[in-house]
Structure formats: structure tokens, C-alpha cells
A and B are shown apart, each in its own frame.
Chain A
Amino acid sequence: MIDVMYFAWVRERIGVPSERIETSAPTVAALVDELKAREERYAAAFEDVSALRVALDQELTDFDASLEGVREVAFFPPMTGG
């Protein structure tokens, strides 16, 4: 089980801020493919992953990163702080 969180327009497109998912996806990219195959709203949110960022256990990383031992995955658009 893994906690998946969504922020900003990714959250709005998917319709929930977070969910717990049963997955055996080895990498972030594989998890994204699984989600996209689920429902149209995921396919819409993940249509262009170059427009997205991902954090594993609250650390920014890449889409080819391994999910081994990871508890929390977060997807969001590029940050606009400051």
C-alpha cells in the first residue's frame, strides 16, 4: 500500500487530495501508467508528465525513481512559491 497525494491542478483534475493505492509498480513511471489506465481523470492529469513534478516521501525526485520502500508519493505541477 502506498499513499498517493495530489496538489494544485493535479488534485483538481483527479478530484481527490490523496488516496491509498495497492500497487506493485516498481517505479514512479510504472505507477503513472497504472493510474492512467484506471480512469479518464487520471489520463487527463498525467497526459504530459513533463509538466509535473514528483516527490517520494517528501523529497523531489524523477519519474524513473524506484518505489521500493516508499510510503508516500506526491504529484504536483512546478512549484510557485516566493
Chain B
Amino acid sequence: MAIEKVRNWQLGRDMDYPYEEARPKKQYAAVFNINKCIACQTCTMACKSTWTYSKGQEHMWWNNVETKPYGGYPQFWDHKLLEKLGPNKWSSGTGHYGSVYSGKTIFEAAPLTEVGTGYLPEDKEWQSPNIFEDTPTSTNPEKGPDNSVDLETTGGGGRGGAHTTWFFYLQRICNHCTHPACLAACPRKAIYKRQDSDGIVLIDQKRCRGYRKCVELCPYKKPMYNLATRISEKCIGCYPRVEQGIEARCMSACVGKIRLQGLKESLPEDAEQNPENPLNYLIHVRKIAVPLYPQYGTEPNVYYIPPRWIHKKFLYQMFGPGIDEALKVYENMDEELLGVLSLFRTTRKIIERFSINNNMAVGYDAKDHEIIRTPIDEPVIVRPPKYHNTS
């Protein structure tokens, strides 16, 4: 298999990949605001009750919310790969986040016999999706758990800082990567990325032969083996909904209003030409949301507003060098940004364009019809005391 050079803007450089660069016209993408998640798992159940309730899918959670740093589904999925890849090395450069990744991606670290580096989890590792729920850790283990705030390791500066005892929730779905490892791994070419429409990555259920190479090589472990059909399945990005301009189930079910999903431009320079698209705006223009483990090299397309109370070293390892800018922007919000964040979960329709004026955030669909109008600062009305006894 030939090795091609493809551009990975998240790494700020080209990288090895088994296929030529093939970016979709539009890319399915989402922004998850970790700061607001309460791990109610409504997203998880919305997905489960839509797609994975059948025989052979008992262990499947295409959407899951895990408690970091110890939680993981499958267990220790990220720790295991981080150990294989070694330290996360970035050097200063002209990349999107002002840095260039100088380490190896999963494709570049591949053994001679494989397309990439990865591992195949055992069944037992999928069996406790919410293991270590709410289990905190301490960045100061000698001192033990406490409630102090370490101002020197502050996340973004300004308000508060990193907690010395901490955990946070990480919401995970398939990243519908630009350079998918599952697709690269499949010896049958049974996995495809929808290039002409939304960039959603799918496993052809008719061609899959259950080799599980996708399960092994996906760094996010989102392809899963169906024990009844004996072939692999993965998050389908709720493509039947997306085709109708409706957000995925896990997005539209989000109680905490932490999620926004839509279609964005694949490359930053194209995204900057269309800044009225809320995803282009958040990810590329304001850089408030950063990819999960960009160093793996698949150019994942779910972006996270990083949690403010976590030690920067940990965030750096998990989200790469974009965290500084993301936290800075998040903690110094302006009306426009607040307006876009106010659109999260106000409609289940995909917002293709937004506008902000007169304290109102307005969302438009693909036909540029207004689909939502919401106040940015909701008026506060205090009921005068003389009405307290009335209902």
C-alpha cells in the first residue's frame, strides 16, 4: 500500500496516510462544551435507544460520557495508545494553533506490518462504560484531595484556576475524521467517507467481513464488533437525520445544552471565508473549540471547549496546543461569541448560518430560512414583593 502525504491542519504539517487526501465538500462536525456537561447520559440513551438496542449490540455505546482521567470506554482506550505513541511533542511553528506536531501520528508510528498503530480491546474492556464515574484525582498527591485552587496552573487566567483535585466529563462519539484510521485499516475497503455530502464515515454492512482491523486502529475506539452479526458497526452520525437538516440524536437530546452539530468547511482557510457558519466560527475563526488527541493524526471533527478547572498539562496532552487560545477566548467572552453559544440546543435543525444583532442570536437553515431566534441576555424580571402572595 502506497504511502501518500496528506495535509493535517491540526498538526500544522503534512503526514503519512495510505490514501490520497480526499476532503469532503462539507464536514459533519460538532462542538461540545465540556464546562457545562453534567454527565446525565441523556445523549448516551438517545443514541442507544435509536441505534444499538438489538442482539449483539449489548456492549455498544456509540455515544458515551466518561469521567476523566480514569474513566474510559473501552477501559483505558486513550492511556493505552498514549503509551504506545510516547510523549506529545509540539514545536513552535505556523500551524493553526501556532504549533507544529513533531511527534509521530498513529500512521507514522506504524509497525512495518500494519497501516497504523493501535490495539484490539477485549470484550471485558467494553463492559463497564461508566467505570470510575465521578472519581477525582489530585495533581498534588502528597497533599491528598482538597478543595484548593492552584492559581499558578490556572487554565485560562482571569477567573479561578486549575483545581488540585479534579475530574471532568468527556463526551465521545465517532469523530468522523478527515483521515479516518478505520477507513485506512480496512483490508476490504468496506469503510467509506461521504465525500460528496457531509464527510460522515460509514461501514458498509454488506461488505464488512468482521476482521476488526477498524476496531484495532481507530484511536477513539468507536467502531465496535457486533457479536450477533459478526461484523463491525460504528456511529453513523445519524446520517438519515443529517440528510434532512436535523442534528444527530445525541446532539438534539442534550439536556445541558452543551452540544452544537452541523456541517463545516474542512480546511481553515475555507472556513474563514464563511465565518457566519457557527461551526466555522467557533472552531476556525475564534478557535474556542479544539480537537481531541490531535496528535493521533486522524484530524478528528468533534471539537471541545476545554474545561477551565483542569491542569494545563493534562489539557495539553488531551487537546493539543490550542487550549491556551481556547480558554482565553472562553473566559473573555464577547457578545458575538455569547450569541453563538446561546444557539446551542435551541433548535434540533442544523444551523448553517447565524447572525447577531440587537441582543438576538438568529439561526438559519441551508435554504437560509430563519429557524431560530433567541435572546443573548435574557431579560431578568423581578417580581415585586407585593405580588409574592399571588400565584
A and B held together in a complex? no
Q: Which residues of A does B touch, CB under 8 Å?
A: none
